[in-house]
């Protein structure tokens, strides 16, 4: 199942009653909103369920064989799981 569908199903279990967000509904990173391009953020339940999509990325967080975004991806996950 695609990741965006999987995340939506988690959101439903946590009370989401709205429809699954369209691919175009994601918020692209711009460097000033806490993450850079090529990340896109999808969020449900006031931020209780969040999905960051790395455009062109694989499961090893590489884009075109380059792992330049891996550290940022790890930091996004840490910030979500371990908020200050």
For the chain, report the end-to-end CA distance as a whole number of angstroms.
32
Average pLDDT, the chain: 94
Say what the pTM is: 0.88
- How many domains, the chain? 1
Look at residue 55 and tell me whether its pLDDT is greater than 80: yes
Please list the residues that pair with 42 across neighbouring strands: 51
Of the candidates 35, 48, 36, the one whose C-alpha atom is nearest the C-alpha of residue 8 is 48
- Given a cut of 80, is residue 84 above it in pLDDT? no
**Domain assignment of residue 47, given as a range:** 3-81
Indicate if the pLDDT at residue 80 is higher than 90: no
């Amino acid at each position: 199942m695609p990741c965006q569908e999987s995340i939506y199903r988690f959101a439903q279990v946590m009370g989401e009653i709205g429809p699954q967000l369209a691919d175009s509904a994601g918020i692209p990173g711009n460097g000033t909103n806490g993450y850079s391009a090529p990340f896109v953020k999808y969020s449900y339940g006031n931020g209780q369920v969040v999905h960051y999509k790395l455009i062109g990325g694989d499961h090893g967080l590489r884009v075109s064989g380059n792992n330049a975004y891996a550290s940022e991806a790890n930091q996004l996950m840490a910030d979500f799981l371990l908020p200050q």
